[in-house]
Structure 1
Amino acid sequence: MDITRKIIRMHGRNVVKRATSAIPDGQDHIIAASRRQSYSAKREAHSILGVSLPPKEIIDDLLEEYFDSVHWFSLVIYGPTFRRQYDSVADGYAYQSQKGFLILLATVLGIASWYRAETSVSNSKFSNEDWGGWRVRLFAVAETRFLELMDERSLASLQTCLLLGTYHVYHGRPNASLALLGATIKIAQAMGLHREPIRSGSDENEERKRVWWTIYTWDRFASITYGRPLGINDSDCNVSLPADMNEWARPQTENQQGVLICFSTYQNQLSKLYIIASPLIETIFGLRMSSIGKESFTARYTELMEDVSRRLTNWCDQLPTSLRFNFDYDIPFEASLEEKVYRRQALALQLTYDNILIILHRPIMARQVDSLCRSSPVPTHDVNTTWPTISTTMSENLPENPNFSSLIDSSQQWWAAAIRISCITKLPNTAQLATDSHLVGFLAIILFNSAIVMVVYALSDPLSNRAQEAKRNLTRILRLENLLGKRSSLSQQSGVILQDVIQLLLDCETQAMLGPACGGRSLNEETAHSSSSLASYQSTVEDAPHVSQSTNPQTNSSSSTNVSTNPSMDEMLRLNESLSFVQKVFFPVNDFDDNWATPIIPPTQQHVSFGNNSYSNNWSPANADGFENSESYPEDFRTVDNGIYWIWEAS
């Protein structure tokens, strides 16, 4: 249609006057109609939307909540432009052409209603307002007009889809969020947002850039979170990052001093981080399911990993001071709004960075686990169960001359990233700050991945000092997950599954403590071997801290011949074996007893205090037992969609 328009305009005709809305890349009939209706009389907003928006006083209160809780994390809208558009409809009247903005406004208010309902606002004159009711009614405005949004190629429709998608991924509807992402990418590409604007510098162009890079970072996050291919190819885009611009976090009024903050520096740093990681993310999904040989995969991936790791280090070194997360500092509750914003943004960047390290080192750590899982027996809860070790299959799965130094380096980065993530549990005020914002669901996902890394390490060496350190961190992570569960169903479900995995770890620790005494033999058999040599006895005692999950003496003796001469390889084998062990909780085989999917222990009490700093909002400390009746949990909290935790799948 673009060429056709140019040809017709050469002869003095304007193709926009013709109906082209049914032709691909034709003129959107809504846009064409809006140009005619812009000059018509204003109408009441509820007659355009079909529902009434809240009174202006409540809208103003909710907009303040949105900019405090959501805007700093997801820069979907550009504050100055949004506030100007809102001022034009604040009296309750709007042009028909402003319908797209009214839907966007309703979505913004719906999200703000959710956060206002979940936080304590004792100083608000609307503390008795039915925020839950407003949330349902306001979300219905966009959800009932979904096809209309898809058909309208406008920034407002894109922003609405973005807000709905980023909200649902953290609040119980991840599949809907993924579908919204796909639609949003295509609408944005149809509007040309992935191309550099011809004229730069205007607020509209900066807003277009901001929307595009929000979509880009969402696409990368979704690819990592869901384990799906990227929706945006870097080679198809040439749009630059948006400029750093100050915005009013709180507008200047007669009764309130305004607060100017530069939110966009965070978005640009987040975009740069995902740009660096994109080649490895693309490699994971381009090769993970293919028939490429393991040796070829390892060589290609290791080379790319070294380059990406170097660039990630440079990214960390160049971060602005305001966006560097200080693990030795916990923000006070009386901190300024600006300090809270930068603290949250620094935490979000740190969590993203460490989560990327966990994801990107995963293929190197466990490329051989799929073969192990195919040969594993049906798991049971018997601590005396014999589990196959990866030693018996490594010879056919590993290259002849594997680069164990890169594997050890990956394992160290894995562990270090997990430990850094877990440190948030030692900063109660910072954790509270994250819980009261759009970061709550994101934090739950990252904490869960950190916990599983530590479980894998603890399972590989159940009686080691590192395993004990892992258990201490796991305890704090589980308690924080349970606190987050008050705000997010994703957190609630993650906590239930994490309890299952912790119970598995405790079972394996019991097996490791008892295993050396019996070695998989009965008491009579052990008595018959009581005349074993002193050297054999000493070997048994010295090996006790490093006992693997398997108690099969034949397997252990055969593997020791191949592994004991290479401690690095021994560590890798145990890590791979422990990872496959965890997968039996996440991905049981099809013919497995359904009871295995039921949580082994009841969900943990939802209330806890960290040290002497108790959380606000009436979150009382846990009771002495630390458990409550599992029947009190809704049915949909008992399980979680495994697709969102693809990283722990045997692939």
Structure 2
Amino acid sequence: MSLVAGAFELDKSTTIDASMTTAMPGGQKPPGLENHMTSSSPNTGFRLKRPHSSNLLLQELRSASTDLLSLLPPREVAALLIDTYFDRVHWFMLIFHQDDFRQRWQTLYDTSPDGNFEATPNLGLISTFLLVIAIALQYTGKYRFQILERQDVDPTFFKEKILSTVRSRLLDIVSIGSLEAVQTCVLLGTYYLYHGSPNLAWPVCGCGLRVAQAMNLHRRLPINQPTSAEVQRNIETRKRCWWAIYEIETFCSISYGYPHGIVDADCNVELLHPLMTSPGQSPAIYDELHQCPASLLSYKYLMSKLSVLLKDVLNDLYGVGSHQSGSSKRRPGSLDLKTLLHKVPILDDRLQKWKAELPDILRLNPSTPTQYSSVEEMDRDIGASGPGFESHIYQLQALALSLAYENARIFIHRPLLTYRTRPGGDRKLGSLRDPSRKASHLSLEACRDAAMNTSNLGESLIFSLAADTYAAAFISIHTFTAGVMLCVLTNINPLAPESQQSKIGLRGLLKMQAHLKSKSRSLLSEQGLDILERLTRLVMEKELKEILTPRNEFSSQVQENEAPAHGHPQDLGECEPKDQLDETEEATREEGLADFVEDTTVSQALFELDQVLSCHDSNMALEPLFPDLIAPNNGLAQEQAWIWGMENPMQPFW
């Protein structure tokens, strides 16, 4: 279409009608659509004279606007819910500028549509506004709930009405291709993701990704001359939308094993700028983040950077990449040992460097007093602001970053858990200079340490308040992962001293999940707690069995478990005949692979875990956290347990 525009520019006497390009990729938007888009929408071509005629698309947009406008609550109710969103949700999402949004939503009440299409407000703004207040309705405490009741507002009914209406009009909204359309998908998708409907979240977020890519949000804008503050603000808003989409894609891939929909080679957009008021050089080219003053946006910059790292982990260690189909993805145990020993230390080193960038204000101190003494006090502080509230937000962000870091450690080291060193191999590993040789030796302790640290976060004062924020489900998922890890590690050898410490950590994680369940009213927390309780029973039953096992039988079992286990010949080269081993002796000596064997105790622990998650025991009448685990062919099946090796619960592949 740019070529067509240039051709017509050569002949000033020739004009082109808008109806000639509306159906073409990159063509002009249908006449009359401008009011449904923002100035931040991409420039799609040359300017055309707009005729007065309408068409079916415009009629649908008018109808969608009417449906959504009919849901606008009284201004006083809207103001309360907007404050609630920025009190509870905004710090975690940061997809738009607070000041801009607070000004723009009021224009919806200042405009009085009288049937004239020209006066119809922006459809994307309406949908974004309604989803903001719908999410806020989820986080109204008792005090704010009573205020809404006095305004004759039923929070639950109103929230569901908004969600169902926006969902039914989603195609109309995404068809306008604006930043608000992307924001709508982010808000709606994350709500479903964090509130028990991941099958809805995935396609909705996918719509947001496609709109963002069509708007080139993943590309750096070609601006060579100095720009105004308004233009720079618009650029930062575009980046906020893109990195929100990127984080969601990565989170879903990690949580459910879905393929990642973004190819990094296609993206050159910079990370967010933490300085909200001073546009300038991006911290992406700084050596360390602490060279920039910390701000509330530092959190989003760090989360985005971590998402890039985790996407590399998905691809390098798990084979869940954007360039691979779901059917060809590698299972965690199928990557050869040599590659794992090489890549795990490199990725862990990147993670440690990421952690080193955290500014002091975003490093969680469990003993730091909180701004609010209780959830009730927090609920009464409507439209909170000032240094005290900023300190509260920093603590919440520090908690989220700590959870994300510990979860990333588990995610990186998980593939090496199924390997251990031969008897005496520890001494050899300790003398090796290559850090990769020590990777397998350290991965188990890294996973245990990360899970225990996650458990300890429950003792922080800010944790008791986090359940009433949008991060509740995020916390719950990471707590669940840590709980499963401790169950696996404890189940390997229930009577070992380390297992006793793991059970203490598991108790703390169960307590955290119970708190999240009671305060956040989250289905995810409720089901996660149920599964962790059942896994804990499995661990305790195995411990009791070990205690009651006669000594002679127990000794024989120990000897059997200590017998050298054999891995796959192609991975370890230990099952080959001697003449074949001679041929690979030099490679084996250089790589140090002969010091490792497959750990069958971990395989057994994972198999037992599989039995619990799959609910094979008829006596365990459990509604599973992810019911598609036992119905793998049921449409868009989410596979939360894929990381543990339960891709097919009837046939564990470890």
TM category (shorter chain) comes to: 0.7 to 0.9
1:366 aligns with 2:418: yes
Report matched runs for 1:191-206 at 5 Å.
191-199=215-223, 201-206=231-236
Partner of 2:70: 51
Partner of 1:510: 544
Partner of 2:88: 69
> Secondary structure at 2:73's aligned position in 1?
coil
The residue identity in structure 2 corresponding to 1:357 is R
1:352 to 400, 404, 408: 404
Partner of 2:211: 187
The residue identity in structure 2 corresponding to 1:206 is E
Once the two structures are overlaid, the 10-residue window that deviates more, 236-245 or 323-332, is 323-332
Distance 1:636 1:31 in 2: 49
Partner of 1:560: 562
Asked if structure 2 preserves the Cα contact closer than 8 Å seen for 1:45 and 1:93, the reply is no
Report matched runs for 1:292-441 at 5 Å.
297-329=336-368, 331-334=370-373, 336-366=388-418, 405-427=438-460, 429-441=461-473
Residue 287 of structure 1, CA deviation: 7.1
In structure 2, do the counterparts of structure 1 residues 96 and 578 end up closer, same or farther at CA, with 3 Å as the change threshold? same
In structure 2, do the counterparts of structure 1 residues 454 and 23 end up closer, same or farther at CA, with 3 Å as the change threshold? same
Residue 2 of structure 1, CA deviation: 3.4
Residue 55 of structure 1, CA deviation: 0.4
The residue identity in structure 2 corresponding to 1:239 is V
Partner of 1:18: 19
Residue 316 of structure 1, CA deviation: 1.2
1:263 aligns with 2:296: yes
1:581 aligns with 2:608: yes
Asked if structure 1 preserves the Cα contact closer than 8 Å seen for 2:371 and 2:388, the reply is no
Residue 20 of structure 1, CA deviation: 2.7
Distance 2:148 2:332 in 1: 62
1:81 aligns with 2:100: yes
Distance 2:370 2:611 in 1: 40
1:598 aligns with 2:621: yes
> Secondary structure at 1:481's aligned position in 2?
helix
Partner of 2:148: 126
Distance 1:296 1:332 in 2: 48
Asked if structure 1 preserves the Cα contact closer than 8 Å seen for 2:407 and 2:478, the reply is yes
Residue 367 of structure 1, CA deviation: 7.5
1:469 aligns with 2:501: yes
Distance 1:488 1:4 in 2: 53
Residue 407 of structure 1, CA deviation: 1.0
Asked if structure 1 preserves the Cα contact closer than 8 Å seen for 2:492 and 2:601, the reply is yes
The residue identity in structure 2 corresponding to 1:581 is E
Report matched runs for 1:173-252 at 5 Å.
173-199=197-223, 201-246=231-276
Partner of 1:444: 476
Residue 176 of structure 1, CA deviation: 0.7
CA deviation vs aligned residue, 1:84-141 (integer Å, no higher than 9, x gap): 321322336363251221111111111111111xx23269743554211221222233
Asked if structure 2 preserves the Cα contact closer than 8 Å seen for 1:324 and 1:346, the reply is yes
Partner of 2:178: 154
Residue 186 of structure 1, CA deviation: 1.2
Q: Return the TM-score normalized by structure 2.
A: 0.73
Distance 2:298 2:500 in 1: 40
Partner of 1:616: none
Distance 1:234 1:643 in 2: 24
Partner of 1:141: 165
Distance 1:212 1:188 in 2: 7
In structure 2, do the counterparts of structure 1 residues 637 and 405 end up closer, same or farther at CA, with 3 Å as the change threshold? closer
Q: Return the TM-score normalized by structure 1.
A: 0.73
Asked if structure 1 preserves the Cα contact closer than 8 Å seen for 2:476 and 2:516, the reply is yes
Distance 2:173 2:332 in 1: 45
Distance 1:563 1:47 in 2: 68
Distance 1:313 1:637 in 2: 32
The residue identity in structure 1 corresponding to 2:612 is V
Partner of 2:112: 93
Asked if structure 1 preserves the Cα contact closer than 8 Å seen for 2:250 and 2:260, the reply is yes
> Secondary structure at 2:93's aligned position in 1?
coil
The residue identity in structure 2 corresponding to 1:301 is L
In structure 2, do the counterparts of structure 1 residues 30 and 216 end up closer, same or farther at CA, with 3 Å as the change threshold? farther
CA deviation vs aligned residue, 1:443-468 (integer Å, no higher than 9, x gap): 11000111111111111121122222
Alignment: residue pair count: 528
CA deviation vs aligned residue, 1:288-310 (integer Å, no higher than 9, x gap): 95679979632223322222222
The residue identity in structure 2 corresponding to 1:586 is L
Asked if structure 2 preserves the Cα contact closer than 8 Å seen for 1:59 and 1:109, the reply is yes
The answer for unaligned runs of 5 or more in structure 2 is: 37-49, 55-61, 114-118, 278-293, 322-327, 374-386, 424-434, 567-592, 630-637, 647-652
Residue 18 of structure 1, CA deviation: 3.5
Q: What value does the CA root-mean-square deviation take over the aligned residues? A: 3.5
> Secondary structure at 2:470's aligned position in 1?
coil
Distance 2:209 2:624 in 1: 30
